[in-house]
Amino acid sequence: MPEQFIFTEPEEVTCMKVSIPVVLAEEEVQVLIDSTIHMPELTKKVDHIDARVDDLEVEPVFIHEHIAHWHVKIKKEWAHHFKEMGGLTSVVKKLIIEGTLHKQIYYVNQRDEVKHVQEEVPFTKMIELKEAQPILDEDNVFIQMHKPRLDISWELVRAGRLQQTGIIILRVKVVEYRQIFVQVCPSPELCPPGNFLEDPSFEHWAGNVPVFWGATNVTPTGIAHTGSLAADLGGIDATKVAALFQTTRRNIAGGRTYKLIFWARKNLAQAPLSAFSNFNLMAEVRFFNGQGIQIDGASQTWPHTSIPDNRYEQFSFNATAPAGAGIALVRFSFMPGTGNNSTVKIDDVTLECIGGI
């Protein structure tokens, strides 16, 4: 499954309430720890010191102030969460950091033997956040910590006393779980059901233009496959090129395979002696990225001999959307040849997904 994908939402979306961690503050803290120990025996030198931090805990310190003092400082994306609050609200201003610096000190004694001695130094530090943060619920606040970094320096005094300075560098985040509504997207591995085109049966017209389609040299016709109307390509002038097209963003995603299905029949001139068909019908599915740049597509052309005159017949072909696709263009082109006086009718067009990523 991809980490992210473009999902063009349909007319209705499903929203779900979820709890998410929101970072309220982030601080880098330095804790300075000085200690001096007396070595268990006379020491020539200290070879090295291994150190780690044990039992590290960071606790937020809450105070309570009137919410009116904080409205101007609350980020606008969270303002509606605090809108219904009145009176006092909890504010986190400080953090208390506690832990133990554990050290293993390796030294060389007067007999040139390498030995070690252990030291544990507890520490506590209170820090103030750069900017105090109002919160919704104290029980939903926690501290997120990264692994601390350590640096130990030392000086051996008179072969028996070891002075040390330890620096602990710790990055902490103050986090609160908050509830929000999110839109639930379908899995990109599944094909959304349904027809992604508007008015696929051409029932809505404004003059010679179908309301949800673009059209040139097209008229409505009452000879329909289903419903009351269909589109007649070449209906204005059968000797000129005609086009019928629609773009859609609904459920178009790279990696999916789509099927274009439509019904067509030709319409010869009424006088039998003058009836003559000489045209090609091309159907296309072209894919575009979010910037409107065409990136791929598929097309198929049928000669007039493949299209019946006295009945509708179904035609179809498949097209796979490339990576980055977010828009699909469905287009029918009527291309007449010399002497043509026939039109072609289109009805019940379907663009559907038949294969996932």
Model confidence pLDDT, tens digit, residues 278-327 = 999 999 999 999 888 999 999 999 999 999 988 999 999 999 999 889 99
- pLDDT category of residue 52 using cuts at 50, 70 and 90: very high
Question: What span, in angstroms and rounded, lies between the C-alpha atoms of 336 and 44?
Answer: 103
- Domains observed in the chain: 15-183 (no CATH), 205-355 (2.60.120.260)
- The whole-number pLDDT of residue 137 equals 87
Comparing 37-41, 77-81, 177-181, 273-277, the range with the smallest average pLDDT is 77-81
Question: Across all residues in the chain, what is the average pLDDT?
Answer: 88
- The whole-number pLDDT of residue 1 equals 43
Classify 98 as helix, strand or coil.
Answer: strand
The yes-or-no verdict on residue 103 having pLDDT over 90 is: yes
Question: What span, in angstroms and rounded, lies between the C-alpha atoms of 248 and 211?
Answer: 14
Question: What span, in angstroms and rounded, lies between the C-alpha atoms of 9 and 267?
Answer: 39
The mean pLDDT value for 155-165 works out to 90
The yes-or-no verdict on residue 204 having pLDDT over 90 is: yes
Radius of gyration for the chain, computed over Cα atoms and rounded to the nearest angstrom? 37
Alpha helices in the chain (DSSP H): 79-82
Comparing 210-214, 258-262, 324-328, 346-350, the range with the smallest average pLDDT is 324-328
